[in-house]
A and B are shown apart, each in its own frame.
Chain A
Amino acid sequence: MSISEDAAAARSVRNAWALSAPALILLTLAAAGPLLIVLVYSFLSPGKYGNVEWVFSLDGWRSVLYTKDIFDDSLQLADAHLTIFWRSVKLSLLTTGITFLVGFPTAWFIATRPPRARALWLFLITIPFWTNLLIRTFAINEVIRNEGLFNTVMIKLGLFSEPLRIINTDAAVLMGMTYVYLPLMVLPLFAAIDRFDMRLLEAGYDLYASRWQVLRRIILPIVKPGIIAGSILVFVPSLGAYVTPRVLGGGKQMMIGNFIELQFGQGRNWPLGAALSMSLLIVVMVALLVYVRAAGKEGHGHG
């Protein structure tokens, strides 16, 4: 390599940095910055009227799992916190599972349409994104609440004698999250199925595979990258969901996101809120690592 080529290479590297600088600065300030603040807050003491006092304390982190007995100061597992944690994980896993079961046939349907119709279907899938999440969630609320559309119609038709209580249950939260996150499952699945060579189906049938075996042995392993991507895109935001459990789960069916908000609001315990946020982050990261590692080991990456 000549000197002028060296200089050109160096210049192109400098240019690349210069061009990506705005994004890098923004990411640093907007992602790493707040995260750092949250991390610092989690090791401080709560202020009287919210905010924090700059006194080092591990109480925030301890309170994630334990409560201090008000009489003898002994530590006990915080059942309420664990219940909320467990509900969050359970509902997120269920949401991921249901969006997969519903989203896979949808994605398959779209991927097997002629190219023009495909664009239309994909467009339709993205339409819900045009409306604010809060408004859509209230719309679901309007449908399923006791005096809502569904119950009114059912009672008028004489099918129900009294309204079916859906609102403020786990089922309502699940329904809302499935609705909200379904597109995030469908789109990566579609991308994977779109790349899938349909001729492999005939090869499978030709080699004595039943329809179920073709699905299980050929389609699913090959579109697995899409399944992994979709699952992550649904599971992670589900775990931190705030609006949906708030509007559809009422005050009682809290998820971890609502619980964190509570600490920054009425709870006036910012360090606990910060520690809970960091815990959530750690849980998600570990879960993702385990999931991706396991999925990668078993399968043989494709595409």
Chain B
Amino acid sequence: MTATENAIEARNTVKAFGQGTAAVRALDDVSVTIRKGEFFTLLGPSGCGKTTLLRLIAGFETPTSGQIWLDGQDITHLPPNKRPVNTVFQSYALFPHLTVAQNVGFALQMQGKPKAEVAQTAREMLALVKLEHLADRKITQMSGGQQQRVALARALAARPKVLLLDEPLSALDLKLRKEMQVELKRLQLETGITFVFVTHDQEEALTMSDRIGVMSNGKLQQIGSPRDIYTRPVNRFVASFIGETNFLPATLQGAAARLGSGDLVEVAGGEGRAGAVTVTVRPEQVRLVPPGEAGAMAATIRDWVYFGTDTHVHLTLADGAEVVARLQSNPTGEAGLSRGAPAGLRFAPGAAQVLGD
């Protein structure tokens, strides 16, 4: 591992707020490596420490212990204005007394760049976010979506080594948010800058990221690609925070697990473990088959909910454990479904996963 391949390295960082016994650990021994040119997302519920980690990288906070490295250099105690890192704030924090172009040119101006270069870069950056025609507007005359773009252009103008984004899309309405997701991804690919993106929105994380770090209670629970995180969650928190899922108590028997209902299912992730575990399987990996089919689990249909593209069918196994199956909706009606009717269940091959604690 050469240092130059890593944009950001957090080494055993701890951040405690308050003192003595009342101290709260917002970050509890977090270590993470973010590669150059990567779109890395910190995902977690509010209060999980993701924003604290971002603020440590930006330099607004100093870790209680541990280090932050940037591009092979220890920047733990460098003030924010000395770090080649810029932030897109959740509130945008645009300067209300400056025009759009002046906001975008601010960083370069502070670095003492010549006027012509500042103006030129501001123009380029505004073109990048498609706002060049509004360069002379006041910030207060811009809509939320436009302010968002200005904030992006402003943070990118000085070509930082790492761009930090603190829930930048949370104030936008759904349609605009979708547009900006595509826009952000495009900007990241065009500029090649490392993006560290903080969000509590799992869909946002899954669609945009190269890798995701899932956080909870000040700890990193799992780091991996969106597919890894979704299909191979390491624990109950990750499995339930990202997407919907079924949890079934089971007992490990070699490479298989015996569910509470007595059915035996093939599972992944059970290596080196034994005894009582929890098995998870995503609803879309549950197949409904005719009752009594060989190898299928016996189940009873309880209810179903129509969602448009798909229909969620709620079933119970022999022991009363509940399983949700997500089926593609039938255009002509819920053919074959009736409450209380018996049905057969199968899990798609490789879909069932044994969880850690």
Interface residues of A (CB under 8 A from B): 197, 199-200, 202-203, 205-210, 213, 217-218, 221-222, 299-300, 302
What residues on A are CB-neighbors of B306 within 8 Å?
none
A210–B81 touching, CB < 8 Å? yes
Within 8 A of A (CB), among B53-87: 58-60, 79-81, 85-87
Given contacts A203-B93, A207-B86, A208-B158, 14 further A-B pairs with CB under 8 A are A200-B93, A202-B58, A202-B93, A203-B94, A205-B60, A205-B79, A206-B59, A206-B60, A206-B80, A206-B85, A207-B106, A208-B110, A217-B110, A221-B97
Q: Are A302 and B107 in contact (CB under 8 A)?
A: no
* Choice from A197, A207, A222 contacting B110 with Cβ under 8 Å: A207
A202 and B97: CB pair below 8 A? Answer: no
Known: A209-B81, A222-B97. A300 touches B138 (CB 8 A): yes
Task: Let me know if B158 and A207 touch, CB within 8 A.
Answer: yes
A208 contact from B91, B97, B111, Cβ within 8 A = B111
A205 adjacent to B80 (CB under 8 Å): yes
> Of B60, B81, B97, which contacts A299 at CB under 8 A?
B97
Residue of A206, A210, A218, A299 with most chain B CB atoms under a 10 A cut-off: A206
Contact check, A213 vs B110: say whether CB atoms are below 8 A apart: yes
Contact of A206 among B86, B95, B138 (CB under 8 A): B86
Instruction: List, sorted by A's number, 26 A–B pairs whose CB atoms are closer than 8 Å.
Output: A197-B91, A199-B91, A199-B93, A202-B58, A202-B60, A202-B80, A202-B87, A202-B89, A203-B93, A203-B95, A205-B79, A205-B80, A205-B81, A206-B58, A206-B85, A207-B81, A207-B86, A207-B106, A207-B154, A208-B81, A209-B81, A209-B110, A210-B81, A299-B97, A300-B98, A302-B96
Determine whether the beta carbon of A203 is less than 8 Å from that of B96: no
Chain A residues in 8 Å Cβ range of B79: 205
Question: Which chain B residue lies CB-closest to A218?
Answer: B95
From A213, A300, A302, residue with most partner B Cβ within 10 Å: A300
Residues from chain A with a CB closer than 8 A to the CB of B60 are: 202, 205-206
A202 to B276, CA, bound (A): 50
Could you say which residues of chain B place their CB within 8 Å of the CB of A197? 91, 93
CB-based nearest A residue for B80: A205
Q: 9 shortest A-B CB distances, which residue pairs?
A: A203-B93, A207-B107, A208-B110, A205-B80, A209-B110, A221-B97, A199-B93, A205-B81, A206-B87
Residues of chain B lying within 8 A (CB to CB) of residue A207: 81, 86, 106-107, 110, 154-155, 158
Most buried by B among A202, A203, A222: A203
**Scoring B residues 84 to 125 as 1 if CB is less than 8 Å from chain A, else 0, what string do you get?**
011101010111111000000011001100000000000000
Q: Measured between C-beta atoms, what is the minimum distance from B17 to chain A in Å?
A: 16
Interfacial chain B residues near A217, Cβ < 8 Å: 106, 110
Q: How far is the CA of A217 from the CA of B95 in the complex (A)?
A: 10
Instruction: Report the minimal beta-carbon distance from A202 to chain B, rounded to whole angstroms.
Output: 6
> Closest A-chain residue to B98, C-beta based?
A300
Interface centre among B110, B111, B154 (most CB of A within 10 A): B110
Q: Whole-angstrom distance between the alpha carbons of A50 and B220 in the complex?
A: 88
Report A25 CB to chain B, min CB distance, Å: 40
Chain B residues contacting A209 (CB-CB under 8 Å) are 81, 106, 110
For B111, the chain A residues whose CB sits under 8 A away are 208
State in angstroms the CA–CA spacing of A207 and B121 once bound together.
Answer: 15
| Contact across chains for B89 and A208 when beta carbons are under 8 A apart | no
- Provide the bound-state CA to CA distance between A125 and B12, in Å: 47
A131 → chain B, closest Cβ, in Å? Answer: 39
Chain A residues within an 8 Å CB radius of B110: 207-210, 213, 217
Given contacts A205-B81, A209-B81, contact A200 B95 (CB under 8 A): yes
